[in-house]
Amino acid sequence: ADFDAKKKRKVAEIYQALNRDPIDVAALRRMAISEGGLLTDEIRCKVWPKLLNVNTDDLPPLPGKELREDSKDYQQVLLDVRRSLRRFPPGMPDDQREVLQEELIDIILHVLKRNPQLHYYQGYHDIVVTFLLVVGDRLATALVEKLSTHHLRDFMDPTMDNTKHILNYLMPIIDRVNPEVHNFMQSAEVGTIFALSWLITWFGHVLSDFRHVVRLYDFFLACHPLMPIYFAAVIVLHREQEVLDCECDMASVHHLLSQIPQDLPYESLISKAGDLFVQFPPSELTKEAAQAAQAERTAASTFKDFELASVQQRPDTVLRQRFRERLRGEERTKSILTKPRTNRFVKLAVMGLTVALGAAALAVVKSALEWAPKFELQIFP
């Protein structure tokens, strides 16, 4: 009964945020991150476009079949989609699944044709199929296109350099939390390749329960593009004892870590990932994430632009308050940012991350939002 009451209350809060004019995107982010995420696919159809700043009144037309004739990626996409049987609900009739697979091919080719700077990678279809199953082909096309030019941008370069760079954040995060596990993995020389498929498919390829996949997508869509690597780190940290009990050699540790458990405590791991992002933001880890040169337009670097665009959807009162505070709050903001372990409530509020906070903390977050404009706090690299 208590669970049902909480769920009803959360649904009401989500629709309240959706019905505001302008829509309260900050509140929707908090709903997507907090326990249970967005709850239903019906709600996701309404909220995911808002999290990605996609106008559902101006969707692109459905792609035509002519895309297949002149696409250099068609054969590879076809092979990957044909192998994706397990990504569809068990028991789905073959003819229904085949229709969805055709739509999946068309969505991918459409996004690639419209964005020639993007390069297809194996695993991309695992992300696209999640959107297709939740929101349908036309809306999925628009959402995936926005996602591909922002959150997934690093994975869609001609080389793997930026993807490797993101993987390089994994070990510094683990080291900050548990040096023993970090040192053990370093001694085993296991590297980070075991987490590659987790990262580039947003765990869609490795989790068998679709409910867990969409719960993570709620979380990732509401957060910074590097959040999946923080989630990867908390999975490794959650398995601390298994790792330390393993033979300290590359093959053994890689085999253990690449076999992801299906019974993970998702809500507590999401909470932990959010907390780690606040304690150790990417900007603090860049020196350790050894990669000298980054492409000019990567997901991490364009996220500020993306955020500023979505700010336009926020309630006018918040925007006005931010503007007033911007002048007189500059010094106060700087002093807060220079303190070690920056106040987590402020940062959580700024990022819409109300992870694992009680009622009293939520009040702090709410007040922090009123004076801490995101574009002044340099918390992103």
Q: Which domains does the chain have, with CATH numbers?
A: 1-155 (1.10.8.1310), 160-312 (1.10.472.80)
Write down the pLDDT at residue 38.
Answer: 96
Write down the pLDDT at residue 367.
Answer: 38
Q: How far apart are CA 295 and CA 372, in angstroms?
A: 30
Write down the pLDDT at residue 191.
Answer: 92
Write down the pLDDT at residue 287.
Answer: 81
Write down the pLDDT at residue 290.
Answer: 59
Mean pLDDT by 10 residues, the chain (381 residues): 87 96 94 95 97 90 75 92 89 93 94 94 95 96 95 92 91 96 95 94 94 97 95 98 96 94 95 95 83 43 52 46 50 42 44 42 39 30 27
Residue identified by tokens 């957060």 is 223
- The DSSP-derived string for 226-271 is THHHHHHHHHHHHTHHHHHHS-SSHHHHHHHHHS--S---HHHHHH
Write down the pLDDT at residue 314.
Answer: 44
Write down the pLDDT at residue 372.
Answer: 34
pTM exceeding 0.85: no
- The Cβ of residue 72 has, within 10 Å, a number of other Cβ atoms equal to 9
Write down the pLDDT at residue 66.
Answer: 75
